[in-house]
Structure 1
Amino acid sequence: MIPDYFFAQAHQATFRRSPTEARAFFLQARRQFSSTCRRRVAPVSLTSPEAKSAQAYCADLVRKSDSPSYTLSHFVQPYALPAYLAIRAFNIEIARIPDIVSNTTIGQMRHQFWRDTINRTFAGNPPEEPVALLLASYMQETGIKPNKTWFQKIISAREQALTRPGFTNISALETYAESTYSTLLYLTLSALPLNSLAADHVASHVGKAAGIAAVLRGVPLLAFPPPPNSHSNNPAGMGLSMTRDRQRVVNLPFDVMSQCGVGEEDIFRNGGNAEGLRDAIFTVATRASDHLITARSLLNEIKSSEELSHEFEHQNDEGHEYEINQQADQPQESRRKDLERAYGTIMGPAISTQMWLDRLQKVDFDIFHNSLRTTEWKLPFAAWWRNRQQTF
């Protein structure tokens, strides 16, 4: 707020100065005010009250909006926990933009705000925002800088989904999952730090599976949107990709819907009993399951020192810059060590996604079944057991 005395001084100045001088006075005062209200927030130690408060905020946000990630945070290396929570909180903030804006223009402004926030954070001048403060503190304390490219890619992918919702085919859905959920895993790995072709290869398939499953979870919410401002109870990243004008949409790939003979209007009228809907859900869920099977196969090949069955299709994309020995013939022992370091990060989404797909199969792919929207109470026990076996 502008102090009252500023107006008093300005009022007196207008009577003492000519119009030209008065105009110059106001311009100078406005510049001074603008420069003082944007306070620079220097990164602080992770043990400082500011950083602790920021971490508590991020942890609470993840606990409330993305409970599986909060549960699985116990398997992340302790020193990297602040970065993990900051990155997951960032993902929640970006994913829920469609829920808190009334039109795409405001949504684009929110995305630009986060672009600026990330740029300022990496420049050492984070705004007073918990995610930015925690991330900046982590970078200063550890000297580790996550890959900035992945932050910007997630923002761009979410913004594109906001302005151009829907998927023309299942390949477009996979591209979206790669640009959001797989990229979220790359970002978390870079915060360890770990720059590994083998780890990224496994993370790509796990992320695609998680992203496809998230879009499936969002089908009931988009077909029958809840009242405004009820978004806080929705899990993060549910594939919500349209403005919150409460219009009903079925966010399944168009080619799958066409092949299965399911129409939007039929879903709006009959919900889960719409003809062909379960077949469409089965087709999309099978693609998610295929990616998990591929990820497990890669994991086993790396652990048994076998040659990988296929190359990483994104290894030449922006952000995937590896040492020459990784691109050509990385030693098998090095691959195993990289995967051991990455396991706690990759394992979580793989397990939670597989458990949800199993529940979907048990209800015969009825995406509207109430049991699919309940918390998976077995997740902590399953994660503990899989962690002991180093599998997912």
Structure 2
Amino acid sequence: MYRCLRAAGDSLKKAPASGWLRECRRGIVTDADVVQARNYCSNQLKHGDYEAYLIRQFVPRSAQDAYNAFRTLNLELARLPETVSNPTIGRLRLQFWRDTIDRVFAGNPPREPIAILLYSAIAELKARAGDGSASSIKFWLMRFLKTREKHMENRPYVSLASLEDYSENTYATLMYMTLASMPLQSVHMDHLASHIGKACGIVATLRGIPVLAAPSQPIQGPAGANLGNTRSPALLLPLDVMAEANLKEEDVFRMGPSAEGLQDAVFQVATRANDHLITAREMLKNLTLGQGPDHDYEHEGEAEHVYPSAAHSLETADIDIQRGFGVLLEAIAAEDYLKRLENANFDPFRVKKSWKLPWSLWKALRNQQI
């Protein structure tokens, strides 16, 4: 099967020409291109975001390609501050992705693996469910890029609340996009995704401490010339938490895990992530019993969070949860890290690798519990 679109570049192998293809002046993306793009994204996740690589297998099949594309894009953008010599280059790369997303939704993706896989997923979604869910995904993608650009310079969050806002606009948004890719519109699933996504964003910040606080590395050109350093060391813990723990950035840069107040600050931030997981767990329990959540969804009524009356129904909430439960497994990965962090006495430099996560994911899926 061939899908017609305008193609640019030649990074993926093109299919052999034929009479029909010669008549298609707009260019092509073939099934073979999509398979190559899918393999590329899976490989990137396997080596760069192993938790997402595991979870992708439990995401509903209808959303798996979209999930692979979203998470690979997230991985690339998370790496940007580490791989560019100054924020201006990073912003140019983000502009490339904004243009790419516009082209994907216009049916004109560049020949870039993430773009091709996303294009394929969007085309399939439009064929199944029309344009509504696809336009919702574009909204979330643009908000996701805007937030990543805002935090390109790796500056500390002003407060714990601002870290939660960042997490809502990145990791929770990734979950909203995955739900929209199924498509599944439910205020209850979005509410669960909001709490779990906030926990995941906070966990990602804690996980990045040993990496970002390390000295920057030089960038070398093709001839071995020094093109500058990737970035200055950074500590992204919220400033209000650091002040309360009497923690100074410079101490972490110089002394690493021995810095006074580091474990206290990490404990406070990790506690907030755990609170969100506890809230999501209680919500899930109540909803499966046919009861409502014990608090309102703070983002209801915002753009793309306006729902038809059926999406509020408690009678169908259990069905929606069963259908999209694989998306909620992000909570298991976040909880797994928080347990290992606790075992390391909240020293992020001493957190050991996980070997239990595959089993924990399977168990959670089997028992429908997070």
Distance 1:228 1:188, change over 3 A: farther
Q: Distance in 2 between matches of 1:342 and 1:88?
A: 17
* 1:298–1:309 contact (8 Å) kept in structure 2: yes
Q: 1:193 aligns with which of 161, 166, 183?
A: 183
Question: How many pairs were matched up?
Answer: 337
Q: How much is the aligned-residue C-alpha RMSD, in angstroms?
A: 2.2
**Larger-gyration structure (1/2):** 1
Structure 1: gaps spanning 5 or more residues: 1-34, 231-242
1:98 correspondence with 2:77: no
Deviations 1:302-326 (A, max 9, x none): 0011121011101122221211344
Partner of 1:236: none
Distance 1:116 1:41, change over 3 A: farther
1:289 partner amino acid: N
1:351 correspondence with 2:329: no
Q: 2:256 aligns with which of 271, 292, 309?
A: 271
Partner of 1:73: 56
Partner of 1:378: 356
Q: State how 1:297-312 maps to structure 2 within 5 Å.
A: 297-312=282-297
TM superposition shift of 1:79:
3.2
Partner of 2:324: 342
Distance 1:75 1:228, change over 3 A: farther
Partner of 1:320: 305
* 1:213–1:285 contact (8 Å) kept in structure 2: yes
Q: State how 1:166-205 maps to structure 2 within 5 Å.
A: 166-205=156-195
Q: TM-score scaled to structure 1, two decimals?
A: 0.81
Q: Distance in 2 between matches of 1:183 and 1:391?
A: 22
TM superposition shift of 1:88:
1.2
1:388 correspondence with 2:369: no
Mean CA deviation greater in 68-77 or 221-230: 221-230
Partner of 1:136: 119
Distance 1:272 1:136, change over 3 A: same
Partner of 2:265: 280
Distance 1:224 1:175, change over 3 A: same
Q: TM-score scaled to structure 2, two decimals?
A: 0.86
Distance 1:50 1:255, change over 3 A: same
Runs of 4+ in 1 over 3 A off after TM superposition: 35-45, 243-246
Structure 2: gaps spanning 5 or more residues: 1-5, 11-24, 221-227
1:367 partner amino acid: P
1:333 correspondence with 2:323: no
Q: 1:368 aligns with which of 341, 344, 349?
A: 349
Deviations 1:46-73 (A, max 9, x none): xx11111111111111111111111111
Partner of 1:159: 149
2:140 partner amino acid: W
Deviations 1:244-280 (A, max 9, x none): 6431222111100111111122222322121111111
1:352 partner amino acid: A
TM superposition shift of 1:120:
0.4
Q: Distance in 1 between matches of 2:285 and 2:305?
A: 23
* 1:182–1:203 contact (8 Å) kept in structure 2: yes
> Identity of paired residues, percent?
42
1:62 correspondence with 2:45: yes
1:331 partner amino acid: S
Distance 1:125 1:282, change over 3 A: same
1:284 partner amino acid: V
